[in-house]
Amino acid sequence: VYRRLLELGVIVRPIGNYALPDYLRVSIGLESQNQKFLSAMKQILGEEA
């Protein structure tokens, strides 16, 4: 998911330093940025189905 988000132009941060190696950090941004993130996640989840 991390790699695909980057490929789709969405920047997320891994948080392995917080003992959560399987999690990503997503910050709330502008509405347009949030929509881009949600669209990318829907696309990625659709690919994995």
Give the tokens for residue 11.
């920047």
More confident residue, 3 or 20: 3
**Does the reported pTM lie above 0.95?**
no
Give the tokens for residue 40.
């990318």
48 sits in the region (left: phi over 0; alpha: psi -120 to 50; else beta) called alpha
Task: Give me the pLDDT at residue 49, please.
Answer: 57
- Rounded average pLDDT over 2-23: 88
**pLDDT tens-digit map of 20-42:** 888 888 888 899 999 999 999 99
Confidence of residue 15 (pLDDT cuts 50, 70, 90): confident
Cα 45 from Cα 48, distance rounded (Å): 5
Task: Give me the pLDDT at residue 46, please.
Answer: 94
Where are the chain's structural domains? 2-48
